[in-house]
């Protein structure tokens, strides 16, 4: 997987805190928006989730902040599938300043595939597993 962009946006002044850099709540929000584009690439589209009664839920999320982002900065997130299991996936988002290319933050998430009615984890369909398997990154990249 090449880590295609899953989010592009801008840091607006109202995203910034009293120190002058983008507040952590906006990092989380931008990573969340990237989730939905990333999921769609795996076949976990809004239509699939609605029609199948399935959903995705984060069970662990770790964010590492590398460099601050300021009002006016252009942001890009690229996403990588690190691990695929029967009912869960682990993936990484890398947020960069799109102008400078500097890494601003990394977010690693473990998510589970849910039956929304029964509120329990369920296996991914073979179609989703096949699509996702083609997008797994090399093991050495998964450890980075």
Question: Pick from 76, 6, 87: which is nearest to 39 by CA?
Answer: 6
Q: Phi first, then psi: what are they for 98, rounded to 5°?
A: -65, -25
pLDDT of residue 97: 98
Per-residue pLDDT tens digits of the chain, which is 144 residues long: 357 899 999 999 999 999 999 999 999 999 999 999 999 999 999 999 999 999 999 999 999 999 999 999 999 999 999 999 999 999 999 999 999 999 999 999 999 999 999 999 999 999 999 999 999 987 656 555
pLDDT of residue 1: 36
Residue 93 has what DSSP assignment?
Answer: E
CATH topology of domain 5-135: Thiol Ester Dehydrase; Chain A (3.10.129)
For residues 13 and 69, give the distance between their C-alpha atoms in angstroms, rounded to a whole number: 11
pLDDT of residue 2: 55
Would the CA dihedral through 45, 50, 52, 58 be positive or negative? positive
For residues 144 and 93, give the distance between their C-alpha atoms in angstroms, rounded to a whole number: 12
């Amino acid at each position: 997987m090449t880590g295609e962009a899953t989010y592009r946006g801008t840091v607006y002044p109202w995203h910034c805190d009293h120190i002058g850099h983008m507040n952590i709540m906006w990092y989380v929000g931008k990573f969340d928006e990237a989730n939905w584009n990333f999921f769609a690439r795996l076949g976990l589209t809004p239509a699939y989730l609605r029609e199948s009664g399935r959903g995705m839920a984060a069970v662990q999320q770790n964010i590492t902040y590398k460099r601050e982002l300021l009002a006016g900065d252009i942001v890009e997130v690229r996403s990588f599938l690190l691990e695929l299991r029967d009912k869960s996936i682990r993936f990484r988002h890398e947020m960069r300043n799109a102008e400078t290319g500097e890494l601003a933050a990394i977010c690693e998430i473990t998510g589970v595939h849910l039956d929304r009615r029964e509120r329990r984890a369920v296996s991914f369909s073979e179609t989703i597993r096949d699509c996702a398997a083609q997008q797994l990154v090399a093991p050495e990249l998964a450890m980075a």
